[in-house]
């Protein structure tokens, strides 16, 4: 595949030491983002001395599907089989992780054009714990995902798309409902988040209605009665 646009000469992140694997991964993606690409985790291995080594590859390293192969489901992929990658090597005393270049020069070259925007890379759109808490709070308040995305863009450096927010809300609902009925899961969540609630049941002890209110709403109601 011919390269249509050029990456900068300093495309490779500098060889440097970090206190943890997580810090290394975050740092090389901070380096990659403004240069039109992003890293994702590739292969990992251990030496006989229990020393770990991880390959961090361009997030377009996956090979595209063969056009000659009949596919049951039509899917899209960003994969180009890009060889660009670096190594993360753990020190013998396990206190340091180091960025190391791979010896073959082909691993320092991309086979595709730089991305036009950082949000094109899923690994750069990862939600922080703070962002996840904001999404949950705003969703519980009835705010639509489109408005939640706008709020995140204005209040943080999040690159999350509207679909990322949909996916996180769906995953949260699945976690809440794990091993519970939807009603039980709802009552548990209301209780955890401090909502006032009352449940009405029929003669067979089946729930027929739920009344709930946020504590702030109750405070407003009490003030209005004075």
Q: Dihedral of CA 65/66/70/76: which sign?
A: positive
- Domain segments of the chain as ranges: 17-124, 125-176, 180-226
Beta strands in the chain (DSSP E): 17-18, 39-46, 52-58, 85-90, 97-100, 196-201, 207-213
pLDDT tens per residue across span 56-90: 999 999 887 666 555 555 555 778 999 999 999 99
pLDDT one-digit tens code per residue, 4-38: 468 999 999 999 999 999 999 999 999 999 999 99
Mean pLDDT computed over 188-201: 75
Which tokens belong to 123? 């690994």
Q: What is the pTM of this model?
A: 0.61
Q: Is 188 helix (H, G, I), strand (E, B) or coil?
A: helix
Work out the mean pLDDT of the chain and round it to a whole number: 81
Residue 189 has what pLDDT?
A: 72
Query: How are beta strands 196-201 and 97-100 bridged, if at all?
Result: unpaired
Residues in the chain: 226
Per mean pLDDT, which range of 159-168, 172-181, 188-197, 212-221 is the poorest?
Answer: 172-181
How much is the pLDDT for 58? Answer: 95
- Higher confidence at residue 201 or residue 67? 201
Question: Which residues, at least 6 apart from 27, have a Cβ–Cβ distance to it below 8 Å?
Answer: 13, 16, 18
Give pLDDT, residue 71: 54
How far is residue 226's CA from residue 214's CA, in Å, rounded to a whole number? 19
What is the widest separation between alpha-carbon atoms in the chain?
A: 78
């Amino acid at each position: 595949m011919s390269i249509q646009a050029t990456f900068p000469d300093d495309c490779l992140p500098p060889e440097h030491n970090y206190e943890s694997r997580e810090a290394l991964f975050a740092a090389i993606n901070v380096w990659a983002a403004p240069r039109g690409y992003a890293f994702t985790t590739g292969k990992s291995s251990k030496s006989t001395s229990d020393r770990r080594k991880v390959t961090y590859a361009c997030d377009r390293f996956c090979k595209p599907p063969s056009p000659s192969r009949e596919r049951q489901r039509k899917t899209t992929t960003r994969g180009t089989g890009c060889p660009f990658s670096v190594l993360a090597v753990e020190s013998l005393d396990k206190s340091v992780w180091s960025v190391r270049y791979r010896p073959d020069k082909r691993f320092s070259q991309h086979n595709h054009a730089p991305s036009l925007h950082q949000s094109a890379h899923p690994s750069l759109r990862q939600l922080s714990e703070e962002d996840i808490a904001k999404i949950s709070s705003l969703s519980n308040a009835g705010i639509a995902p489109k408005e939640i995305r706008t709020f995140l863009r204005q209040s943080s450096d999040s690159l999350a798309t509207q679909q990322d927010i949909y996916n996180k809300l769906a995953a949260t609902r699945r976690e809440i409902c794990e091993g519970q009925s939807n009603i039980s899961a709802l009552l548990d969540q209301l209780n955890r988040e401090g909502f006032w609630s009352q449940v009405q049941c029929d003669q067979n002890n089946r729930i027929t209605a739920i009344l709930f209110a946020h504590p702030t709403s109750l405070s407003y109601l009490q003030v209005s009665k004075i």
